[in-house]
Amino acid sequence: MPETEPASRSVAGKTVTVFGSSRPIPSSPEYEEAELIGRRLAEGRLSVCTGGYAGIMEAVSRGASPFDVKIIGVTSTVFSTTPNRYVNIQVHTDSLYERLQRLVELGDGYIVLKGGTGTLVEFSLIWELMNKTLIKEKPIVVVGGFWKPVIDLLDRELTSERREPGKKFVKTAKDSAEAADIMIKTLGTIE
């Protein structure tokens, strides 16, 4: 049973929030890639934060579970109050908006894997908050080519409007190992 932490309390230490689909099952390539991210981040002494449920969220938590790091699951009464079994700190929220806010607040950096509309909302939110300087600049790493068309389209639109390109906030990694390595290197240099 994970320790429950109030949504208003901060979690100390460097933490990477990982976003992705709830659909991948154990032994699927997407699940294995996410499990590798959790393991690599934890080996790098970074805590992990996810939405706390199944799929990518479970895989990241599972990958980090053998290590002495915080494995944070941000849950909500909108879905279910029970996080996956690998979460060791549960941050419970009462609404989807509060859940999104906590996922953003708890991250010192963000990794975005393949996902659906929920992942798109999360990715768009962190990108826009940084673009509008509503939160401090933090590293965002997307994995693989899934998000490339979205990033390219938005970057073209911003550039055509003679605004600063939003792409400066987003790095692309070819795979999960590279994404974790980028995050470890970047967060290791942030004071």
Per-residue pLDDT, 16: 98
In a domain, 190, yes or no: no
Mean pLDDT by 10 residues, the chain (191 residues): 54 85 96 98 96 97 97 92 94 95 97 96 94 92 93 74 66 96 85 42
State the pTM of this model.
Answer: 0.90
Are the CB atoms for 109 and 183 separated by under 8 Å?
Answer: yes
- DSSP H or E stretch at residue 100: helix 96-106
Cα distance between residue 101 and residue 33, in whole Å:
26
Per-residue pLDDT, 132: 87
Q: Is 45 exposed, middle or buried (0-12, 13-18, 19+ CB in 10 A)?
A: middle
In a domain, 191, yes or no: no
Per-residue pLDDT, 3: 67
CATH number, domain with residue 48: 3.40.50.450
Q: How many domains does one find in the chain? A: 1
In a domain, 116, yes or no: yes
Whole domain around residue 147: which residue ranges? 3-185
Beta strands in 85-150 (DSSP E): 89-93, 109-112, 140-143
For the chain, the distance separating the N- and C-terminal CA atoms, rounded to the nearest angstrom, is: 33
Each residue of 80-89: pLDDT tens digit?
Answer: 778 999 999 9
